[in-house]
Amino acid sequence: MEKEKIKVALVGQPNVGKSSLINAIANAKLHVGNFAGVTVDISEVNTTYCDPEGCEEYEITIVDLPGTYSLNDYSMEERVTKEFLLNEAYDLIVNVVDSTHLQRNLLLTAELLELGRKMVVALNMIDEAEKEGIEIDAGQLGVILGVPVVPVSAKTKEGLEALKQKMVEVYKKPQTESKIIYSDFIEEEIDRLVAFFEERHYPSDIPYRHLAIRLLKEDTQIYKRMHDEPIWIELLPILREALDHIYLHSGKKDIKEIFADEHFAFAKGAKMEVISTKQMRAKNFTQKIDNLLINKYLGIPIFLFLMWGLFQLTFSLGQLPMDWIQAGFDWLAVETHRVLGDTELASVIADGVLGGVGAVVSFLPNIIILFFGIALLETTGYMARVSFLLDGFFHKFGLHGKSFVPLVTGFGCTVPAYMAARTLKSRTDRLITLFILGFFSCSARIPVYVLFAGAFFGAEHAGNILFLIYIAGALFGLMAAKVLRVFVFKGEDDPFVMEMPKYRLPSLKLIYHVVSGQSMDYLRKAGTFILFASVLVWFASNYPKNPELEKRFEARIEQAASPQEKARLQGRLQEELLARSYLGQVGKATQPFFAPLGFDWKLSVALEAGLAAKEVVVSTLGVLYSLGDATDKGIQALQDQLKRHVTLPVALAFIVFVMLYVPCFAAMAVFKQETGSWAYLAYLFIGTTGVAWVFGFLTYNVVKLLV
């Protein structure tokens, strides 16, 4: 019976012991060394392996490629190795890695994974690593890379049979994609290109993902091959836009350098997840910073302090421009009434449009400060460290540290946060993250928090209250993740690498791009969706008209003896008209559901309006509580009205409900798109609403007992 043949490409950096390993495997007598002229010529050796399960014999031809640090074209060795790997016929790659210099060697491993070929990693010199006190979790590294990792020693011949067995196993198995994950902005462009190829059913002999990566890396061979194809005309503008986006986020225009940084982040992250040493000494300034920021004792307190400072700035710095913006809208409302008089048009513009939209736009400075702070921490590379730092903590709740990226994105907006969860390749991790994202308060909820915190705790404590709200929401999310992992999405979590990018000085251009884009999205919602919702709320709160009621109150107002009595009666009239309006009817119909939480029909309606967009909660309250004089507008006036009509237990219960209940309609639509299930969307709506009701009820009753 003829032996089945397997051709293996042996690849590794210089001085990783490739020649020694090949000698040990095949008992061959190759000259050991990497000096000029010895390994530039490709060498081959043959060995055999008998599969004990199938009783099959395999003839393994190992091609010893020149040692190379990367797959660039800078040296003869690199060109020879790259040409072979891209153009020659072989069955799998064996990547030889020096265990004592794991991070440096994984740079080449990352490039080899991008080729999309079957692969085995030989973790060589494992005996020397052990002598140096280095412990490597080979199984975890294999899970991270998505390819088998076999500890071996050419010197002691440890693991050689296991390596040959793994070669045969990988050869027999179908091709699987590697698990190397890039920064979000690169993954976004890869997804766009893959979707483009899928829509056009483009015939390709390599997986679409690897094709997209090689296009983004400006691979000369791929460009030459596709240049004369009809699809190139459509592809070129997409590629240009993708590269411009990558250049902006990376702060560089050298694509090789950009991907080198990505490989560095991948290699460092993989090393830090799988390696442990008896002694860790900082060798450079970056390592000294890392030893502080990701210290197991100091790291989390430092992170919490930075987030506390950010929320303090969000409230204190944002207060002054917020007052200016609101004053501008108040002036416009007064002028509208002066010019148009006491007409329906004046009311819809001043009370509906300016009252509703103005209340939301006033919080833009707070939103910008929060976006700026998060963007600053992300662009410097600090957020990636926090992901790594929280990895072990997150695992206790059934999450991966990588979940931190979409979760912190959720502080900005839940819609892109749902999309960012795509970087989690485990479906279980992704679903759990998607379900708990709503508990991480988006920026749209900030206006509600600032409004109530300022009203009931004063400006001096509002920043602390804001910080506590965000932390409480995050803790709720983590507890929910644990419940989902234990009772719903059971099974082992799927670990993978946490990228550790280099520290960078913040790019003002990139920060401007991120902050301006998110702020414009906020304003677009204010100018479209929230504008429509505000006008709708105004209409529902002003109709149907009740002329008989108005006549009765007008007669009493005329007979009132003092201005104070007139103002009181005017307020009573507005309350009666609101209670009999369409909005009042809806609020009273649903009030029994919210009554155990202490909410009146106005707060109930505001929460229901918040399903459209959380900012609408404030604009709805602005319309519902704009009682009395038309000039009595503004955030301060609304806070005064809330203090008069709402008790502290009710206010805290309201904050808790807003913190926990379902995200807006737009976010729910994206959630359904990402999960692909209407049932999951129903579970999200019922589950978050139920949790919000229960904890709102507990908050109301506990606080009522204490105050």
Q: Could you read off the pLDDT of 478-490 as tens digits, one per residue?
A: 899 889 888 887 7
Consecutive H or E run containing 63: strand 56-64
Q: What is the DSSP letter of 115?
A: T
pLDDT, mean of residues 508-535: 73
Strands 149-151 and 56-64: unpaired
pLDDT digits (tens, 9 = 90+) for 330-389: 788 888 888 888 787 887 787 767 766 776 677 678 778 877 887 888 778 787 778 777
**Closest by CA position to 526, among listed 611, 616, 595:** 616
What CATH number labels 184-279? 1.10.287
Burial label for 337, CB within 10 Å (0-12, 13-18, 19+), is middle
Decide: helix, strand or coil at residue 275.
Answer: strand
User: How sure is the predictor about 584, in pLDDT bands with cuts at 50, 70 and 90?
Assistant: confident
In the block, tokens 């891209």 appear at 86
Retrieve residue 481's tokens: 């993740």
**What pLDDT shows up at residue 52?**
65
**Closest by CA position to 497, among listed 110, 26, 198:** 110
Retrieve residue 282's tokens: 């900082």
CB 145 within 8 A of CB 127: no
d(CA 246, CA 221): 21
Most confident option among 223-237, 550-564, 607-621: 223-237
**Residue 454 neighbours by CB under 8 Å, 6+ apart:** 462, 635, 639
Burial label for 318, CB within 10 Å (0-12, 13-18, 19+), is buried
Strands 134-136 and 149-151: unpaired
CB 634 within 8 A of CB 330: yes
CB 202 within 8 A of CB 231: yes
Q: Nearest-5° angle of CA 267, CA 273, CA 276? A: 105
Residue type for 135, please? Answer: E
Retrieve residue 279's tokens: 């002694």
**Closest by CA position to 631, among listed 332, 382, 386, 366:** 332
Indicate if the pLDDT at residue 419 is higher than 70: no
Beta bridge partners of 275: 136
d(CA 566, CA 558): 8
In the block, tokens 């003896």 appear at 561
Most confident option among 33-37, 156-160, 323-327: 156-160
d(CA 133, CA 277): 6
d(CA 12, CA 69): 8
Q: Which residues of 440-476 are buried (b: 16+ CB within 10 A; e: fewer)?
A: bbbbbbbbbbbbbbbbbbeeeebbebbbebbebbbeb
- Tell me phi and psi for residue 183, to 5 degrees: -60, 155
CA distances in angstroms from 703 to 578, 647, 652, 661, listed in the order given: 29, 10, 8, 20
Q: Provide the angle, in degrees to the nearest 10, between the axes of the packed helices 220-227 and 208-216.
A: 110
**What pLDDT shows up at residue 627?**
45
User: How sure is the predictor about 420, in pLDDT bands with cuts at 50, 70 and 90?
Assistant: low
pLDDT digits (tens, 9 = 90+) for 61-100: 888 888 888 887 666 777 888 888 888 889 899 999 988 8
What is the DSSP secondary-structure string of 576-631?
HHHHHSHHHHHHHHHHHHHGGGT--HHHHHHHHHTTT-THHHHHHHHHHT--S-TT
More confident residue, 699 or 665: 699
Indicate if the pLDDT at residue 32 is higher than 90: no
What CATH number labels 4-172? 3.40.50.300
d(CA 603, CA 700): 14
Mean pLDDT over the full length of the chain: 80
As a three-state string, the secondary structure of 163-222 is HHHHHHHHHHCCCCCCCCCCCHHHHHHHHHHHHHHHHHCCCCCCCHHHHHHHHHCCCHHH
CB 216 within 8 A of CB 242: yes
**Closest by CA position to 374, among listed 436, 325, 421, 417:** 417
Sorted by where each begins, the domain ranges of the chain are 4-172, 184-279, 303-544+581-706
CATH fold match for the domains 4-172 and 184-279? no
Q: How many helices (H) and strands (E) does the chain have?
A: 33, 8
**Residue 194 neighbours by CB under 8 Å, 6+ apart:** 208, 209, 212
d(CA 332, CA 354): 8
Considering the entire predicted model, what is its pTM?
0.57
d(CA 19, CA 13): 11
d(CA 498, CA 705): 46
Q: How far apart are the first and last CA of the chain?
A: 88
Give the full edge-to-edge strand order of the sheet including 56-64. Answer: 43-51, 56-64, 4-12, 92-98, 119-124, 149-151
**What pLDDT shows up at residue 571?**
66
CA distances in angstroms from 207 to 146, 538, 547, 618, listed in the order given: 16, 54, 71, 49
More confident residue, 425 or 137: 137
d(CA 299, CA 612): 38
pLDDT, mean of residues 122-150: 86
**Residue 687 neighbours by CB under 8 Å, 6+ apart:** 435
Strands 149-151 and 119-124: parallel
Consecutive H or E run containing 31: none
